Amino acid sequence: MKFEHVPVLLGEVIDALDLKIGDVVVDATLGGGGHSQEILKRIGNKGVLVGIDQDLQAIKAATKRLSQEAGNFHAVHSSFTQIDKVLCDLGISGVDAILADLGVSSHQIDEGSRGFSYMNDGPLDMRMNPSQKFTAADLVNNSKESFLRMIIKEYGEERFSGRIASAIVEARPHTTTLGLAKAIEASVPAAYYRTGGHPAKRTFQALRIEVNRELESLELFLKKSVDALKPRGRLAVISFHSLEDRIVKQSFKTMSSSCLCPPKSPQCICGHRATLEIVTRKPIVAGAEEVKLNSRSLSAKLRVATKLGGEV
């Protein structure tokens, strides 16, 4: 299957990164290379772009797509949580801009063998990095009901988490995506379709987040990204659901605060110092025309911050 990638908020991202000829940039979630293609045009032959992705198919597709573009491009098969090691291995001590486009690519969802979709049949996989051993099948077949209920409630924000977890355990073992989706569908009220979309949507999101440790990875990535930026460097993050956006928003708020002591403290004793300046007080969202052309952009939220230091 061809690795398609329609970049969301492309113009907004390029503007937010404030790119210049010769900049060093990291696309921490390379995907099909849609954002990277435009980044390379902006930084020119003297610029450097490092693309990171856990998915080898994405690495291959992006490398093919970007081979004709100007600039020095390095595609690295790794997790964005290893951004510090990736840059160290390349001999790069600081970067001017970092982009992270979170979530699952359309290619991963559409390809049934990857096991992300409740609409396409395939093995219960959901690994963004296929070399990882732990799969969704391991999670649903070996976890306690209480643990499944917890992650479905917290990561899926699913109000019927108890019913669904019970149904999953009762129908074990699960081997395919459609088999699991049917068990979930049978466990919720018939009216679910009228109020919450497909009954398996939130549960599949929760399982994917747990399999890939997405939220913990995001928090680690954000901390390491700020360390990797040069003073006045830009960090732009696109999220697609409230859990991700909440982490980005809170992390930016914490890192842009000069003191974390309780409000009534007579003096600062925390020793915390701001490292970021928030550029987007409210997230940037897609316009009506983009949403019409690319429905995936409907839930996208872009937040941007600048690393403090240097000349303003």
Alpha helices in the chain (DSSP H): 10-17, 34-43, 56-66, 83-89, 106-110, 136-142, 145-156, 161-170, 177-187, 192-196, 201-212, 214-228, 242-255, 288-293
The pLDDT tens digits along the chain (312 residues) read: 455 568 999 999 999 999 999 999 999 999 989 999 999 999 999 999 999 999 998 899 899 888 777 669 999 999 999 999 999 999 999 999 999 999 777 667 777 788 899 999 999 999 998 889 999 999 999 999 999 999 999 999 999 999 999 999 999 999 999 999 999 999 999 888 777 689 999 999 999 999 999 999 999 999 999 999 999 999 999 999 999 999 999 999 999 998 888 887 888 888 888 999 999 999 999 999 999 999 889 999 999 999 998 654
Q: What is the pTM of this model?
A: 0.91
What is the rounded distance in angstroms from the CA atom of residue 249 to the CA atom of residue 98?
A: 16
Angle between helices 177-187 and 201-212 (to 10 degrees): 130
What is the rounded distance in angstroms from the CA atom of residue 233 to the CA atom of residue 26?
A: 11
What's the angle, vertex CA 109, arms to CA 304 and CA 116, rounded to 5? Answer: 105
Decide which of 212, 237, 262 is a domain's last residue. Answer: 212
Residue with tokens 């990875």: 217
Claim to verify: residue 153 and residue 284 sit in the same structural domain: no
19 domain residue, yes or no: yes
Claim to verify: residue 27 and residue 50 sit in the same structural domain: yes
Query: Could you tell me which of 32, 30, 29, 28 has the C-alpha nearest to residue 3?
Result: 32
5 domain residue, yes or no: no
Claim to verify: residue 207 and residue 119 sit in the same structural domain: yes
Distances (CA, A) of 33 to 47, 178, 312: 16, 30, 31
What is the rounded distance in angstroms from the CA atom of residue 173 to the CA atom of residue 151?
A: 19
CB atoms within 10 A of CB 278: 15
Residue 17: domain span:
10-101+214-307
What does 166-179 look like in DSSP terms, one character per residue?
HHHHHT----BHHH
Claim to verify: residue 79 and residue 166 sit in the same structural domain: no
Q: Give the chain's domain count.
A: 2
4 domain residue, yes or no: no
- Report strand pairing: 72-77 vs 48-53: parallel
Decide which of 182, 212, 242 is a domain's last residue. Answer: 212
CATH number (domain holding residue 274): 3.40.50.150
What's the angle, vertex CA 242, arms to CA 137 and CA 84, rounded to 5? Answer: 75
247 domain residue, yes or no: yes
